[in-house]
A and B are shown apart, each in its own frame.
Chain A
Amino acid sequence: MDSSSHIKKPAYRRLRGFAFDPSLSFNADTAYMNDIVFNVPWEDIKPGPSGEYVEVVDYDPTLERMYKAVDLDHLYIVAQDGLDPSESNPQFHQQMVYTVAMITIRNFEMGLGRKINWAPRFEEEGKREIYVPQLRLYPHAMREANAYYSPLKHAILFGYFYSMPSESSLQLSGIPVFTCLSHDIIAHEVTHAILDSIHKDYHEASNPDVLAFHEAFADIVALFQHFSFPEALRHQISRTQGDLSTQNLLGQLAQEFGTATGKYGSLRDAIGTTDPETMTWKPNIPNPHEYRQVMEPHARGSILVAAVFEAFLTMYKTRTADLWRIATNGTGIWQGELQPDLVARLAEEASQAAAGVLMMCIRALDYCPPLDITFGDFLCGIITADIDANRNFNRAARMAFISAFRKRGIYPQNIRSLNEESLRYPVLNISTNIQKSKQTTGDKLMRLSGDSNMLFSAIGQFVFEYAHAVQYLDNRKDLFFVTRNFIYGSGDANGSYALHQRLRGICDSASFARITGLAFIQGFEMMGIHHSSLTEGPHFRIARLELISRASQDAGQLRHSATGAVNSARDGAGPGSYKVNHAVISLVQHCGVVFRNGKFDCMFTPDKENMAKDTQEADGQTERFIFRGGCTLIFDLDTSLLKYAICKPIVSEESVLSGGRPEVNQRRIAQQYQYRQAKKDNLFSEYQAFFGDDGEQFALLHKD
């Protein structure tokens, strides 16, 4: 080997790009802060760019031609921090999508404390899962003002179009606009893909919040990444006099796209709106009616985005109150432009607050039900995850979330009061290892019958072994296959060990049914749930098996570094921080429901071959649809306890408690039926009304 063999690989690859989108580089005021250098984790890379997580394939089907692929390892390109930001060079477009995709993935991995694997592919419905190592990014996939993540192709398709501004003073008309050059659009779509890899059942719109949650989460990630661009942050703080609740670029998404498609400014704005008549911006006032009335996923998602953004603003104000007092001699009134030192300190605080909010949101994903999520569930997830991670610290941040959600009428059903304790999911503390639990916890344990103790011990043993097997796995492919084997068995004699085999032995456990809300109980056939193909037990699906192993940091110790990725200021456990060692299992069951003349009629057992589809109504009076229930079980590996069971029950709680014949959960069925009816009256997209659902639900605009 040559002498360079002892030189370490660099930690980052420096790549230039737009902090927002090309439109801001045309404005003298914003140009300098828009052209920035991103620090992308270094990886071996092929032309494309094609790395471990993503491959950029620049095929333009409208021309049936390929663009030359950029080689980011080319000496000249490495030497000048990537290609020059340019709209007219498609190779820069490839660099830009790669860069922002990697920054977004990195932020998720920091928050989740584990590597991301894309959702597996099914060659056919119900058949074996196939590993998908790379997400595909197509920067020039269509000629339309749109971009979307396609779950079927495991790809993101970016469109380009000619701008069509409302007024020519806002933007030149007829210039090409590339969605693949917008940080916000790339981050938004990559987040859809990541969310899909964690919760693949969030495709299914079983209530008005599900798709809206997908959209909101994608917007939240894009928004809070803005705060990791130091130049942009300082510029905006200086321009707003430090008041981020006034109009600013940080709280807005996709300026160029918004203007080019005829809006008066950005595509979406977390804090205000521009009145098209007067052309003035005014802040939005939280309105609880909106959550009841707005149903279109993007518009409804904006309510959640606004709530999260307000939580951030509260935290930012709290953190900077002392700085303002010091800087203004206690008057709170600053005259003239802000002093650069103060701007830098405010930016630091904003960056940390933003990183904290983003981390809280990302971590909450592990504490959400596997399907049918509502904004209220997400709030509970945020609170639960944060209490587990930070215990008594960070209470102010949690209060900021609760208050911002409350103002918009977002809270879970059946809740008595809106405080931290009632929003945290109930702590079950069910022992999965009696001897160990008694030693490690002083908490009172839930009492179960002898059989159930055996059952939970077996599951506890399983998660323990799983944790050991994957704890130090660094390779995403190994992680995927080891996890698959733990779920389904490797096909050899040890298969009986796998989780699926263990659980399908459960035909009748009232405790398990009560905890999970699932029909692991005699009489499940009458509820329209078919048999497992091998045993007497009910059919079910394991939606997730995952390890949460992360050193907790309270939000204040996280910061956005100048690299663009969120870094932790301090690794490992220290005073005031705790290590979270959890394992997650999500289970899902489904059955069929028949409604006649608007009333619940009976259950039916869906066809195994065609299980996911709703049946078409034959006579206009009868409607059949698939009803799903699911549960996320969270095990604490340190104390050997089942800590939480986050349920969307398929059985009714009362029927399981009474010990009689199991009944299907009528409350949830009625809600889903109601939602289905409302959907018929609400036309979300004219395109879909005419051309049907094309299976691509994560379009930036749903083609409108």
Chain B
Amino acid sequence: MAKSARSKKEPGPPRVYKVIVRMYCIGTGDFLFVRFYSKKECVFTMLVDCGACRPNTPRFTVAVDSFINSLPNNILDLLVITHEHNDHVNGFAICYNLFQKIIIREAWFAWTEDPDESTGAARELKTNIGTIKHGLHHALHTIRERETKMRKDKGAGPLSAKIGNFLMALTDLADINLSEDVNYNLSGENQDRGLRGMHQAKILLFGRNVKVRYLYPGEIVTLPQVPGVRFNVLGPPTRRENIFRNGQQGVDVFEKTFALKNDPMLANTFIEFNRVNRIFDLPFSDHYYADPLVHNGMEYLRYLDQSNAWRSIDNDWLNSAGALALRLNSHINNTSLVLAIESEETKKVLLFPGDAEYGSWQSWHSLEHPTGKSGSSRSWAADLLNRTVFYKVSHHGSYNGTALAKGISMMEHPDLIAFVTLDLQNIFPGWKRTMPSRRLLEELNRRAQGRVIFMNDHDINNTFYFRQDVKLPGLQTAVHNKQPLYKEVAISNF
């Protein structure tokens, strides 16, 4: 797709806006509603994602209702879907009927979602991710089967508890990443249509005369409703290396991240494992394999000897499924659409990075300013980070969601406000160990001078005792059934 058409500049001086950013509190996940006001009039509405892990339908309905009621004339000007993870999109499936009632003018996705992308990179990435998804699905199947058998044979014990815990953590990651609808045929091909939420969201758009754009890093989009506002696209990266990039601990990221290297062998192993005839993935020539019936089965006897059962290794390799799931999760995070919304007049920036991880952050810094004039000796991205006044903290405040030297260390604006879409009461238990990252929060808290807003303060204030009281006079909290419904903050003079 060509560089997006820049709309004709409106005559007259650029307007100064007030922006209200609202975070719906529906459990860890993103559901952000952004309104631009010119004078007292709401001129532009934007929704960034709608999803939560462990979704609760009644809560979702209340939140989506509230969102729709806040739309002027039932019109949403812009829908942004950052990436295909359930904690960002499952709301579109759960509340599909409600979303059907509104009019959506325009929708933006990352270039990786474009079915007609010309270089083939998007398709390659999708195929790749599809293979890992397929592999993970099979891994889950095999592990579940074995866990059930073990419980049946040996009853509950420390070993089956260990496998049970592993399975639970794996299922949690699968819940975010794997499609609910597809029944992978064990011998069949991958027919993944994607997450239900993503699928339903697209149904809302296609065939309903909604303008859909797929955005590339380096693009700057302007819209007629909000003259003087630039939507700078920073991610996802177009170079596949960046999607698999690893950061160095202490310099690039607060904590070491996982090796994101793409190893197709592992995914294929899980896919092939349940096939009857495996001929494609044998590492050695066929004649090296011992036949249990010839050779007197000598090799097999030694391994299968019951007195040595305690040191058998039938299940150990299945732990690799954990690495596979983490890799998949990070790959998809790095396909997040990243928007830095900038005011031409005040130069302030609102940063919505989705769940971008280090590889994406790093790639922003090699982007050239599209018009060649950044007006600063710094790189374009550094300049934008430098002027950021609102930061939707990437990946719910995890250790690898926000880059260190090339991210948080560049956010120097004295008015910085950060929203963390994290709710420790509504999250997968395994995720609490990585979210939030204490060191990231310390740094955020210092830079935002305490203006770090969590979806739910539970377990935040007592766990992170360093945290100062939030000094944010404009913060509004709406409550429903004694639980926060949303939190919002107004950024005047944007």
Q: Which residues of A pack against B, CB within 8 Å?
A: 47-48, 50, 55, 57-69, 88-91, 121, 136, 138, 140-145, 150, 153-155, 157, 159-162, 164, 166, 174, 176, 261-262, 293, 296, 620, 681-684, 686-687, 689-692, 694-695, 703-704
Which 10 A-B pairs have CB atoms at the shortest separation, nearest pair first?
A: A142-B317, A164-B261, A153-B311, A689-B433, A66-B299, A683-B255, A162-B265, A66-B290, A144-B320, A686-B258
Give CA–CA (A170, B203) in the complex, Å.
46
Task: Tell me which residues across on chain A come within 8 A of B264, comparing CB atoms.
Answer: 162, 174
User: Of A68, A69, A90, which is in contact with the most chain B CB atoms at under 10 Å from its CB?
Assistant: A68
For A686, the closest partner residue in chain B by CB is B258
Give CA–CA (A690, B258) in the complex, Å.
12
B301-321 interface bits toward A, Cβ cutoff 8 Å, 1 = contact, 0 = none: 011000000111111110110
Known A140-B283, A155-B313, A296-B249: A164·B263 in contact at CB below 8 Å: yes
Q: Which residues of B pack against A, CB within 8 Å?
A: 162, 165-166, 169-170, 173, 241, 246, 249-250, 255-259, 261-266, 269, 273, 278, 282-285, 288-290, 292, 295, 298-300, 302-303, 310-317, 319-320, 322-323, 326, 399-400, 430-431, 433-434, 437-439, 462-463
Whether B439 contacts A690 by the Cβ 8 Å rule is no
For A166, the closest partner residue in chain B by CB is B241
Give CA–CA (A136, B290) in the complex, Å.
19
Whether A144 contacts B317 by the Cβ 8 Å rule is yes
Choose one: B170, B249, B302, B322; the contact of A703 (CB below 8 Å): B322
Task: Tell me which residues across on chain B come within 8 A of A63, comparing CB atoms.
Answer: 278, 282
Give CA–CA (A142, B258) in the complex, Å.
19
Smallest CB separation, B307 vs chain A (Å): 11
Whether A687 contacts B263 by the Cβ 8 Å rule is no
Whether B303 contacts A157 by the Cβ 8 Å rule is no
Known A59-B303, A683-B434: A160·B290 in contact at CB below 8 Å: no
Task: Tell me which residues across on chain B come within 8 A of A57, comparing CB atoms.
Answer: 299, 302-303
Whether B283 contacts A683 by the Cβ 8 Å rule is no
Known A48-B302, A683-B433, A689-B434: A157·B257 in contact at CB below 8 Å: no
Whether B433 contacts A138 by the Cβ 8 Å rule is no
Choose one: A142, A150, A154, A261; the contact of B320 (CB below 8 Å): A142
For B431, the closest partner residue in chain A by CB is A690
Task: Tell me which residues across on chain A come within 8 A of B437, comparing CB atoms.
Answer: 683
Whether B283 contacts A47 by the Cβ 8 Å rule is no
For B292, the closest partner residue in chain A by CB is A66
For B465, the closest partner residue in chain A by CB is A598
Task: Tell me which residues across on chain A come within 8 A of B265, comparing CB atoms.
Answer: 143, 161-162, 176
Smallest CB separation, B291 vs chain A (Å): 9
Whether B314 contacts A61 by the Cβ 8 Å rule is yes
For A125, the closest partner residue in chain B by CB is B158
Give CA–CA (A55, B302) in the complex, Å.
10
9 pairs, A vs B, C-beta closer than 8 Å: A60-B283, A66-B300, A67-B288, A68-B290, A88-B284, A89-B284, A138-B313, A144-B317, A682-B255
Task: Tell me which residues across on chain A come within 8 A of B319, comparing CB atoms.
Answer: 142, 691, 694, 703
Task: Tell me which residues across on chain A come within 8 A of B285, comparing CB atoms.
Answer: 88
Task: Tell me which residues across on chain B come within 8 A of A55, comparing CB atoms.
Answer: 302
Whether B303 contacts A686 by the Cβ 8 Å rule is no
Whether A704 contacts B256 by the Cβ 8 Å rule is yes
Choose one: A59, A145, A261, A695; the contact of B313 (CB below 8 Å): A59
Known A141-B316, A691-B170: A155·B263 in contact at CB below 8 Å: no
Task: Tell me which residues across on chain B come within 8 A of A686, comparing CB atoms.
Answer: 255-258, 326, 400, 434
Task: Tell me which residues across on chain B come within 8 A of A692, comparing CB atoms.
Answer: 165-166, 169, 430
Whether B299 contacts A690 by the Cβ 8 Å rule is no
Give CA–CA (A293, B439) in the complex, Å.
14
Whether A69 contacts B299 by the Cβ 8 Å rule is yes
Task: Tell me which residues across on chain A come within 8 A of B314, comparing CB atoms.
Answer: 61, 64
Task: Tell me which residues across on chain B come within 8 A of A684, comparing CB atoms.
Answer: 256
Give CA–CA (A703, B249) in the complex, Å.
16
Whether A703 contacts B323 by the Cβ 8 Å rule is yes
Give CA–CA (A57, B259) in the complex, Å.
30
Smallest CB separation, B145 vs chain A (Å): 14
Whether A61 contacts B399 by the Cβ 8 Å rule is no
Known A66-B299, A136-B311: A687·B261 in contact at CB below 8 Å: no
Whether A161 contacts B313 by the Cβ 8 Å rule is no
For B325, the closest partner residue in chain A by CB is A690
Smallest CB separation, A394 vs chain B (Å): 39
Whether A161 contacts B303 by the Cβ 8 Å rule is no
Smallest CB separation, B139 vs chain A (Å): 11
Contacts A47-B298, A68-B290 given; 7 further ones with Cβ under 8 A?
A: A61-B313, A90-B283, A142-B316, A155-B311, A162-B265, A683-B256, A691-B319
Whether B326 contacts A261 by the Cβ 8 Å rule is no
User: Of B162, B241, B311, B463, which is in contact with the most chain A CB atoms at under 10 Å from its CB?
Assistant: B311
Task: Tell me which residues across on chain A come within 8 A of B259, comparing CB atoms.
Answer: 145, 261-262, 704
Task: Tell me which residues across on chain A come within 8 A of B246, comparing CB atoms.
Answer: 262
Give CA–CA (A703, B319) in the complex, Å.
10
Smallest CB separation, A642 vs chain B (Å): 39
Give CA–CA (A296, B257) in the complex, Å.
13
Give CA–CA (A162, B131) in the complex, Å.
15
Smallest CB separation, B172 vs chain A (Å): 8
For B299, the closest partner residue in chain A by CB is A66
Task: Tell me which residues across on chain A come within 8 A of B463, comparing CB atoms.
Answer: 620
Whether A691 contacts B430 by the Cβ 8 Å rule is yes
Whether A683 contacts B269 by the Cβ 8 Å rule is no
Task: Tell me which residues across on chain B come within 8 A of A703, comparing CB atoms.
Answer: 319, 322-323
Task: Tell me which residues across on chain A come within 8 A of B315, comparing CB atoms.
Answer: 61
Give CA–CA (A694, B162) in the complex, Å.
8
Whether B262 contacts A691 by the Cβ 8 Å rule is no
Choose one: B288, B316, B431; the contact of A157 (CB below 8 Å): B316
Smallest CB separation, B131 vs chain A (Å): 13
Task: Tell me which residues across on chain B come within 8 A of A153, comparing CB atoms.
Answer: 310-313
